[in-house]
Amino acid sequence: MAQAKRVQVAIVGAGPSGLLLGQLLHRAGIDNIIVELRSAQYVLGRIRAGVLEQTTVDLLDEAGVAARLHREGLIHDGTQMAFGGKRHQINFRKLTGGKTVTVYGQTELTRDLMETRHEEGAPTIYEALDVSVHGFDAKPVVRFHKDGAEHEIGCDFIAGCDGYHGVTRASVPAAAIRTFERVYPFGWLGLLSETPPVSEELIYCNHPRGFALCSMRSPTRSRYYVQCSLDEKAESWTDQMFWDELRRRVDPEAAESMVTGPSIEKSVAPLRSFVAEPMRFGKLFLAGDAAHIVPPTGAKGLNLAEHDVRLLADALIDWYDHGRRDLLDSYSADCLRRVWRAEHFSAWMTAMLHKAPNGDEFDEKLQLSQLRYVTTSRAAATSLAENYVGLDRV
């Protein structure tokens, strides 16, 4: 016999989307539960995003989870583009009328959200197995196994915040959903180390050997990436091999001053563009990576996820407080406008900065011309800056 429970909103997935949605709903007095496949430690062990738009920071403020972010987050006025052995700055603050981004790891943000949820006594079920969603056209139910017992949660709405490989999108009948996808013929090999960052700003590098990115988590912790082939295994790269390859791809000044050290983490991420339309199926709403993926070159994935969550929380609050359904009805279209803008920007940044495995010198010449354009034309630089810091209206 399944153990039954009822909540207003059942959230599948405790990544940044599910946790922030849970927090916004909890603060609005809407009772919710999060059901997560993995353990909290596993979720916190995944090293991912690092760059937050101002609108994401504002939303985290509103959710009451941004105190540590304001203490420890690093505000970046611009970013660097390296090509042809030289670095060029794109100054976001100057080009966008004062906007900046904040560098704060997704791991830290997730930890802040988890701790707040725990302190406020809102429930999260970790290590929930065989999670399945049912009846979202009328009476939604989430089922799962935990510690050998079967559980069932009846609810008004299900939020599918379970990432690209999750169960919620996969449960939608094929005829009700359209997907758009581009898989890139390369990945990113990332390394985290307890070393000071090579530069005060991120460096995006275009190099004949492939793309490289110099990022950071704090004044003493660096995050670096190099473009790699899709079949690359992180285990086959020694730290020394990684540092040598990175040094070959960055500008000479960065190669000279880079401080190296043992890795804390190394992993390979494939690059993908993906959108599922629509993002709502009756009483099931998809949010974040469950509905869309961008290649990380534009630093947009987490920001898009949190934007979906803001719209979904507003729509649910309006429904519970005022019985209005227009925001629920427009949720999918409202999200998808911003999603497609981010898809375009991320694909464009990826094309400009990566070495195409089957590309030729013509492709390289086009990339270099585009890079010179964005680093010399105010209009082109403004377009990059505006998209990177996040557009107010899309």
Give 280 or 300: the residue with its C-beta nearer to ligand FAD. Answer: 300
Query: Contact at 8 Å (CB) between 334 and 315?
Result: no
Among 299, 339, 374, 381, binds ligand PHB (CB under 6 A): 299
Contacts made by residues 347-350, CB under 8 angstroms, sequence distance 24+: 347/182, 347/273, 347/294, 347/295, 348/298, 349/204, 349/295, 349/297, 349/298, 349/384, 350/184, 350/271, 350/295, 350/297, 350/298
Q: In terms of DSSP H, where are the helices of the chain?
A: 16-27, 40-45, 54-62, 67-72, 92-95, 106-119, 239-249, 252-257, 301-322, 326-353, 361-376, 378-389
| Spatial separation of the C-alpha atoms in residues 387 and 101, rounded to whole Å | 11
Burial of 72 (0-12, 13-18, 19+ CB in 10 A): middle
Active site residue 204: yes
310 touches ligand PHB (CB under 6 A): no
Q: How far is the CB of 121 from ligand FAD (least distance, A)?
A: 21
- Give the range of 4-12, 47-55, 61-69, 273-281 binding ligand PHB by CB under 6 A: 47-55
Residue at token pair 């557009």: 391
Q: Which single residue brings its beta carbon nearest to ligand PHB?
A: 50
Q: Which does 22 bind (CB under 5 to 8 A by kind): ligand PHB, ligand FAD, none?
A: none
283 touches ligand PHB (CB under 6 A): no
Three-state SS for 128-184 is CEEEEEECCCCCCEEEEEECCEEEEEEEEEEEECCCCCCCCHHHCCHHHCEEEEEEE
16: cis peptide before it, omega within 30°? no
Catalytic residue among 26, 76, 151, 292: 76
Q: How far is the CB of 366 from ligand FAD (least distance, A)?
A: 26
Among 32, 297, 350, 375, binds ligand PHB (CB under 6 A): 297
| Spatial separation of the C-alpha atoms in residues 394 and 378, rounded to whole Å | 21
Give 202 or 290: the residue with its C-beta nearer to ligand PHB. Answer: 202
Active site residue 42: no
| Spatial separation of the C-alpha atoms in residues 79 and 88, rounded to whole Å | 8
Active site residue 296: yes
Q: How far is the CB of 192 from ligand FAD (least distance, A)?
A: 11
Q: Which helix (H) or strand (E) holds 226?
A: strand 221-228
| Spatial separation of the C-alpha atoms in residues 302 and 48, rounded to whole Å | 9
Residue type at position 69:
L
- Give the range of 70-78, 239-247, 295-303, 325-333 binding ligand PHB by CB under 6 A: 295-303
296 touches ligand PHB (CB under 6 A): yes
210 touches ligand PHB (CB under 6 A): no
Among 16, 22, 50, 187, binds ligand PHB (CB under 6 A): 50
Give 302 or 315: the residue with its C-beta nearer to ligand FAD. Answer: 302
Q: Which helix (H) or strand (E) holds 81?
A: strand 78-83
Q: Which does 207 bind (CB under 5 to 8 A by kind): ligand FAD, ligand PHB, none?
A: none
Q: How far is the CB of 217 from ligand PHB (least distance, A)?
A: 7
| Spatial separation of the C-alpha atoms in residues 96 and 391, rounded to whole Å | 10
Chain residues in the site for ligand FAD (CB under 6 A): 12-18, 35-38, 43, 48-51, 106, 131, 161-163, 165-167, 188, 190, 269, 288-289, 296, 299-303, 305
Sign, CA torsion 61/349/233/127: positive
Q: Which helix (H) or strand (E) holds 213?
A: strand 212-218
Q: Which does 300 bind (CB under 5 to 8 A by kind): ligand FAD, ligand PHB, none?
A: ligand FAD
Active site residue 134: no
Among 207, 223, 292, 338, binds ligand PHB (CB under 6 A): 223
Q: How far is the CB of 50 from ligand PHB (least distance, A)?
A: 3
Active site residue 388: yes
Give 37 or 352: the residue with its C-beta nearer to ligand FAD. Answer: 37
Catalytic residue among 207, 296, 320, 331: 296
| Spatial separation of the C-alpha atoms in residues 389 and 296, rounded to whole Å | 14
* Residues catalogued as catalytic: 76, 204, 296, 300, 388
- Using CB under 6 A as the criterion, which residues of the chain lie in contact with ligand PHB when the complex forms? 49-51, 202, 215, 223, 296-297, 299
